[in-house]
Amino acid sequence: MPIETTTATAVPVRFRDDVSVELVKHSASDGDVLWAARVSTAGEQSLEELTKDPERSKGLINYLMRDRHGSPFEHNSMTFFVSAPIFVFREFMRHRVGWSYNEESGRYRELQPVFYVPGPERKLVQQGRPGKYEFVHGTEEQHKATVAAMEQSYEQSYAAYQEMLAAGVAREVARATLPVGLFSSMYATCNARSLMHFLGLRTQHELATTPSFPQREIEMVGELMEEHWARLMPLTHAAFNANGRVAP
Ligand SMILES: Cc1cc2nc3c(=O)[nH]c(=O)nc-3n(C[C@H](O)[C@H](O)[C@H](O)COP(=O)(O)OP(=O)(O)OC[C@H]3O[C@@H](n4cnc5c(N)ncnc54)[C@H](O)[C@@H]3O)c2cc1C
């Protein structure tokens, strides 16, 4: 839940323990996969084949997924508006293929004081050796100490940012004092194939045949994107799960 406090310079600071993902635009359906795949055999008649036999359509999508015929999953588009901390975006933008990004600017606008703090359900403690570790819940004291330290640090750094702006320093210089827990926002556009590649790496799932170990906060973004995508392309989503959550 967002909580509001005030800095020394009377700028309201907000703390969030969640992320948000809005599907702002889409042109994406299971039919897009089918017509693209059927052009192989039906040529320009393929659009007419779509509704003829639903079971065959489901089977075709599953076959494409299983045998990793990936290109038919590219003829669709989803644009998400994502609000998340900068450290999540830093990981997110490593995904280069089939993704387009536009992020808010710290040069052209004053950055808003919204910062990430872990919620009570966020596992805080890492146990085990490098390469083989797990996260477990911390104590209530550890959670309180974490939130208190973060909030104090955020308030100090945002106050320093405000002081520099008030002294006439450029936004692009003053922003250096702000931490990666600051929220940013971006439009991210992808297709089902590039989204599946992202989800295979950035979510943990019992059906994944190749497990990944993503940071929880980027996984939270991935889970919200997956909910939108599953509604738009239910057969493709089911085939992704049925085939080990490996992008074709
Ligand atoms: C759990 C986890 C931990 C990570 N830890 C680190 C870390 O410590 N440090 C770090 O720097 N990164 C780290 N990463 C980021 C990771 O190395 C990738 O940059 C990121 O996952 C994007 O994956 P990708 O390159 O497959 O995706 P994309 O960039 O979207 O590429 C998709 C696919 O296209 C192909 N491709 C793209 N570019 C090239 C190319 N130049 N040459 C050949 N093939 C290409 C590959 O098949 C690739 O899988 C981590 C990622 C995960 C999921």
202 a catalytic residue: yes
Q: What is the mean pLDDT of residues 26-35?
A: 95
Binding residue per annotation — 95?
Answer: yes
- Closest to 65 in 3D by CA, of 226, 237, 214, 221: 237
Alpha carbon distances (Å) from 200 to 103, 136, 141, 217, 224: 24, 23, 34, 15, 14
* Whole-prediction pTM: 0.93
Find how far residue 245's CA is from the centre of its chain.
Answer: 16
| pLDDT of res. 189 | 98
Would you state the structure tokens that stand for residue 84, as one six-digit string?
């998340």
The CA distance from 213 to 217, in Å, is 12
Residue 43 binned pLDDT confidence (cut-offs 50, 70, 90):
low
Catalytic residue among 66, 202, 231, 245: 202
For residue 52, the one-letter residue type is K
Between β-strands 12-16 and 125-129, what pairing exists: parallel, antiparallel or unpaired? unpaired
Contact 200, 241 (CB under 8 A): no
| pLDDT of res. 132 | 82
Residue 214 binned pLDDT confidence (cut-offs 50, 70, 90):
very high
Domain 3-242 -> CATH class: alpha beta
Q: Which residues partner with 16 through β-bridges?
A: 116
Binding residue per annotation — 192?
Answer: yes
| pLDDT of res. 23 | 98
Residue 204 Cβ inside 6 Å of ligand 1? The answer reads no
The CA distance from 119 to 146, in Å, is 10
